[in-house]
């Protein structure tokens, strides 16, 4: 079974569920708007937009619509990978997954692609309209750039998540609950809602090891006009280097989990 066949199978699995449950499709479209409205409602009741712009350098409506979209894109990849082994085990399909001749590495590389594409398409209904409203034609190009860079940020997250996932599930037992601790930390450290250039030193150091955080900072700098093309390319280069650096540990981690699960046995 080729990598293309695995991707096609994942597309059928994900999209059959999405089109069967229309609420999921509705969520993809409305989530950035709902979250932005909620945050702005609280923010305007407690402070001034001018103070936010002075500190962050971006209009709050633009910042939060972009943050909601980029976070949803990254979580679409992270959650698909982190929870799939547990999902397969609870659904009773894990024995068939383990017995399949398909490469486990190719399988987990293919898992996030269908949902990621759906999220990126939803950017045309959230990020692009808002940026066009504020900036006109320039906003269209910036919106498309944000969508592309959000896709890059999501893909850069894959190897780090694979490394963590393999280790956590490879330890067996109830150790998967560690994910419930790591996930909120990732939500903060990727910098979608908390720009990295505003983080305290400890937060900046920790976020530096997350490839996606560099791409998110590049997005923030682009829409805030805080850096030129060289600065953005440098951040993308650092993210790519970390993605490549985590690839070998990610592969070994998945193999470790597979061998651990084979020794332990799976429940049918």
Per-residue model confidence as pLDDT tens digits over 156-203:
999 999 999 888 888 877 777 888 888 888 888 998 888 888 888 898
Q: What does residue 225 show for φ and ψ, rounded to 5 degrees? A: 70, 30
- Is residue 34 very low, low, confident or very high in pLDDT (cuts 50, 70, 90)? confident
Q: Are 68 and 32 in contact (CB under 8 A)?
A: yes
Residue 58 reports pLDDT greater than 90 = no
Report which DSSP code applies to 57.
Answer: S
Among the ranges 101-105, 133-137, 194-198, which has the highest mean pLDDT value? 133-137
- Is residue 265 very low, low, confident or very high in pLDDT (cuts 50, 70, 90)? low
Read off the pLDDT of each residue in 15-22 and give the average, rounded to a whole number. Answer: 79
Read off the pLDDT of each residue in 230-257 and give the average, rounded to a whole number. Answer: 92
- Mean pLDDT check: name the lowest of 17-26, 31-40, 93-102: 17-26
Read off the pLDDT of each residue in 245-260 and give the average, rounded to a whole number. Answer: 89
Report which DSSP code applies to 172.
Answer: -
Burial class (CB in 10 A: 0-12, 13-18, 19+), 180: exposed
pTM (predicted TM-score):
0.88
Q: Are 152 and 215 in contact (CB under 8 A)?
A: yes
What is the rounded distance in angstroms from the CA atom of residue 159 to the CA atom of residue 80? 13
Q: Are 190 and 213 in contact (CB under 8 A)?
A: yes
Residue 101 reports pLDDT greater than 80 = yes
- Mean pLDDT check: name the lowest of 65-69, 88-92, 202-206: 88-92
Residue 215 reports pLDDT greater than 60 = yes
Q: Are 18 and 118 in contact (CB under 8 A)?
A: yes
Query: For a pLDDT cut of 70, what percent of the chain falls above it?
Result: 99
Read off the pLDDT of each residue in 128-139 and give the average, rounded to a whole number. Answer: 90
Residue 124 reports pLDDT greater than 70 = yes
Two tokens at 174? 């109830």
Read off the pLDDT of each residue in 242-268 and give the average, rounded to a whole number. Answer: 83
Among the ranges 26-30, 48-52, 104-108, 260-264, which has the highest mean pLDDT value? 104-108
Per-residue model confidence as pLDDT tens digits over 69-81:
898 888 888 888 8
Read off the pLDDT of each residue in 200-212 and give the average, rounded to a whole number. Answer: 91
Among the ranges 17-26, 94-103, 121-130, 167-176, which has the highest mean pLDDT value? 121-130
What is the rounded distance in angstroms from the CA atom of residue 29 to the CA atom of residue 118? 10
- Mean pLDDT check: name the lowest of 21-25, 203-207, 254-258: 21-25
Residue with tokens 């440098």: 234
Residue 268 reports pLDDT greater than 60 = no
What is the rounded distance in angstroms from the CA atom of residue 227 to the CA atom of residue 106? 37
Two tokens at 176? 């998967």
* In the chain, where the domains are located: 3-262
What is the rounded distance in angstroms from the CA atom of residue 142 to the CA atom of residue 146? 6
Two tokens at 65? 């619509």
Residue 135, sorted as left (phi over 0), alpha (psi -120 to 50) or beta, turns out to be alpha
């Amino acid at each position: 079974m080729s990598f293309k066949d695995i991707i096609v199978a994942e597309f059928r699995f994900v999209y059959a569920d999405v089109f069967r449950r229309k609420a999921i499709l509705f969520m993809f479209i409305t989530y950035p708007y709902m979250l932005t409205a909620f945050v702005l409602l609280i923010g305007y009741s407690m402070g001034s937009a001018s103070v936010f712009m002075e500190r962050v350098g971006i209009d709050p409506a633009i910042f939060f619509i972009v943050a909601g979209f980029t976070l949803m894109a990254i979580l679409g990849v992270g959650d698909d990978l982190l929870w799939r082994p547990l999902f397969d085990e609870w659904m009773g399909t894990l024995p068939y997954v383990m017995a399949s001749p398909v490469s486990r590495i190719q399988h987990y590389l293919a898992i996030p692609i269908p949902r990621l594409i759906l999220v990126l398409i939803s950017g045309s209904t959230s990020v692009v309209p808002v940026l066009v409203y504020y900036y006109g034609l320039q906003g269209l190009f910036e919106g498309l750039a944000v969508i592309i860079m959000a896709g890059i940020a999501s893909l850069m997250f894959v190897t780090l998540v694979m490394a963590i996932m393999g280790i956590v599930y490879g330890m067996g037992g109830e150790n998967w609950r560690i994910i419930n601790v790591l996930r909120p930390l990732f939500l903060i450290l990727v910098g979608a809602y908390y720009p990295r250039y505003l983080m305290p030193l400890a937060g900046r150091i920790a976020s530096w090891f997350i490839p996606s955080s560099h791409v998110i900072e590049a997005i923030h700098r682009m829409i805030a006009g805080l850096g030129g093309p060289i600065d953005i390319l440098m951040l993308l280069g650092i993210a790519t280097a970390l993605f490549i650096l985590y690839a070998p540990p990610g592969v070994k981690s998945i193999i470790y989990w597979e061998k651990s699960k084979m020794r332990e046995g799976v429940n049918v």
